Structure 1
Amino acid sequence: MKQRLLAITGLALSISAGFAAAEPTPLKEGKEKISYSIGMSIGSSLKAQGADVDPDVLVKGIRDTLAGKTVINEQEMRTTLMTWQTEIRNKRTEQQKVQGEKNKKEGEDFLGANAKKEGVVTLPSGLQYKVLASGKGKTPTTNDTVRAHYKGTLIDGTEFDSSYTRGQPFITPVTRVIKGWTEALTKMKVGDKWQLFIPPALAYGERGAGAKIGPNAALIFEMELLGIEEAKEPAAVVTPVQK
């Protein structure tokens, strides 16, 4: 609770500073800058949650607490915050449901049309792929660790991750990635470059992943299998394509 109060205090200070001057004023190092930074962090969190708060009442709550003269007791405060958090969770769940239904329909339409395009192969699982370049190397097994380059996008073209952009290949055990990747990798040869079209059931399903991959999102990957190497340690979870 003390940490929460400190964070909210920072937010209140940042809000008060915004009301006090039309133009931003330089912050002093130390307490002032720390308070403002905490306020920015909490403000970003509240904004991301879609929290509807009254800045004036927020500041009053802080001032009253510091003065030891609050208009509600601590138990009522806890109950109020718990109710608010439940409302936020319920709202988020409903939004996820609506977005998931929309994504599912759009994904089905996209994959249905894509299956008819020249060069696209549809496997029994629903995974689709198109060969962009052919290699002559070995095919990985589920016991192997592979090195690959990839770029991932949504069906509208929005890029959410790319090893090319990072300038470093992705190394992972074949079974430590989404199902669509595992299936594709065990069919590719080293040197192959494929375009994968992955239905949500073989990607992240209803839960989605990160800020850009929504629930029931179909995904597109360009994947280049660079090599197979011995697995020394389990790969760290560092990219959206891992489980």
Structure 2
Amino acid sequence: MATTTLPSLLSPPTKHSSTVSPPPPPPSHHQPTTITPSSPSISINNHTSKPIQPLNITRRQTLGFGMVLTAFNAVTSPQLAVAETTLCEFTVTDSGLAFCDKVVGYGSQAVKGQLIKAHYVGKLESGKVFDSSYNRGKPLTFRVGVGEVIKGWDQGILGGDGVPPMLAGGKRTLKLPPELGYGMRGAGCRGGSCIIPPDSVLLFDVEFIGKA
């Protein structure tokens, strides 16, 4: 069965193409899983329960030029997605970007052009999760402020135009209007359907880890 690719934050949409390079894949549903026993059985009232065992899933990653990552399997398991559930009030800026700080960082802020690391969960306005770096167990690494990511990310992390810069260790929710995301083309489109439909408002829970 053919897989559908998801847009990469490392490849903002271009005027000449409606497709976007996919980010690294989450755990593939077509690869074998290995259950590795690590916890002893627990005995309660002379009845032995089955041990709780960690799930070790093999991942495939392909590195492209620079920090462009490819081969994302779009069928992400919803139960694996990690998302912030704490409610907070958004501040809307002149650009249309809205932000809400859930945890104010304690470290230094990012500098334009700096290679940084950030974890994230990407959701549609409906709340449906379409991507999560937590699922892959590895934060996204990219150069901030130079167009490697969609516009809403650069502004949401670096700050400017009414948005304070994020500090390392901080957690912020960004609400991106279509023009700061994937616009009228959407992304991850195939066969008439798109993972990110055209003109989508996007929500990102971003954890700024710090410089890479």
Q: TM-score, length-normalised on structure 1? A: 0.46
Alignment counterpart, residue 177 of structure 2, candidates 170, 191, 199: 199
Structure 1 runs not aligned, ≥5 long: 1-39, 46-116, 230-243
Alignment pair present for 1:143 and 2:100: no
Query: Counterpart in 2 of 1:184?
Result: 156
The Cα of 1:119 is off from its aligned counterpart by 2.7
Structure 2 runs not aligned, ≥5 long: 5-86, 159-164, 189-193
Identity of aligned residues (%): 38
The alignment of Structure 1 onto Structure 2 pairs a total of residues equal to: 117
Aligned-partner Cα distance in 2 for 1:118–1:160: 21
The Cα of 1:130 is off from its aligned counterpart by 0.6
Higher helix share: 1
Query: Counterpart in 1 of 2:195?
Result: 212
Q: Is the partner of 2:184 in helix, strand or coil?
A: helix
Q: Cα deviations across residues 196-239 of structure 1 (Å, max 9, x unaligned)?
A: 1100000010111113101110100000000113xxxxxxxxxx
**CA radius of gyration, larger in:** 1
Aligned-partner Cα distance in 2 for 1:167–1:157: 21
Q: TM-score, length-normalised on structure 2? A: 0.52
Contact 2:88 2:102 survives alignment (8 Å): no
Q: Which has the higher contact order (CA 8 A, sep 6+)?
A: 2
Q: Is the partner of 2:169 in helix, strand or coil?
A: coil
Query: Counterpart in 2 of 1:221?
Result: 204
Q: Give the alignment of 1:54-93 within 5 angstroms.
A: none
Aligned-partner Cα distance in 1 for 2:121–2:180: 17
The Cα of 1:134 is off from its aligned counterpart by 1.2
Q: Is the partner of 2:179 in helix, strand or coil?
A: helix
Contact 2:119 2:133 survives alignment (8 Å): yes
Q: Segments of 4+ in structure 1 off by > 3 A?
A: none
Alignment counterpart, residue 122 of structure 1, candidates 81, 92, 98: 92
**Aligned CA-pair RMSD:** 2.0
Query: Counterpart in 1 of 2:128?
Result: 158
Higher strand share: 2
